[in-house]
Amino acid sequence: MLEDELTVTTRQRDGITILDLVGDVTTFAEEKINGAYREVTGQGAKNILLNFRQNDYINSAGIAILIGIVTEVNQNNQKLAVSGLSSHFQKIFRMVGLTQYASIYQDEDEAVQGLNGKRA
């Protein structure tokens, strides 16, 4: 009742694997995020975009999940970007240091251009 369960869908655009994340990013999201990441990694994804949809609830447990993802991204020599975060969560990501491991873009278009080496 109180959870806005996370939905993760996967798609491709211009050589980028995009994971659309809609809903809450809390402890309940762990299996879905990790499952989607491991699936696309198994399929050979090199450039991955976590596309948030202005999610209004990302908590410290969600941040821990995302730190797990950046850890694996580093080990797997992938590139990770993040888009669609509200300004509050952009600030939180900066405070935590996630921005050292994943570039933050305002929206999907900017992120796709950035990951493909073009300036937005």
Partner 1 sequence: MDSGLQKPNSTDRVVELRLPSKLGYERVAMDTASSIATRMGFKNDRVESLKTAVGEAVTNAIEHGNQHDAAMKVIVMLLVQDGELVVSVADQGRKTLTEDCTTRTPRIAEVMEKADKGGWGIWLIRELMDEVEFGVTPNGGNQIRMVIHLER
Judged by CB, which is closer to partner 1: 16, or 21?
21
Query: Toward partner 1, which CB reaches closer, 18 or 24?
Result: 24
What are the CA-CA distances from residue 55 to residues 39, 75, 101 (Å)?
A: 23, 27, 20
Q: Which is nearer to partner 1, 9 or 99 (CB)?
A: 99
* Least separation in angstroms between CB 110 and partner 1: 22
Could you tell me which of 17, 68, 13 has the C-alpha nearest to residue 41?
Answer: 17
Question: What's the chain's length in residues?
Answer: 120
Q: How far apart are CA 95 and CA 17, in angstroms?
A: 26
Please report, as ranges, the residues that interact with partner 1 according to CB under 8 A: 1-3, 26-28, 57, 59-61, 63-65, 67-68, 70-71, 74, 86-88, 91-92, 95-98, 100-101
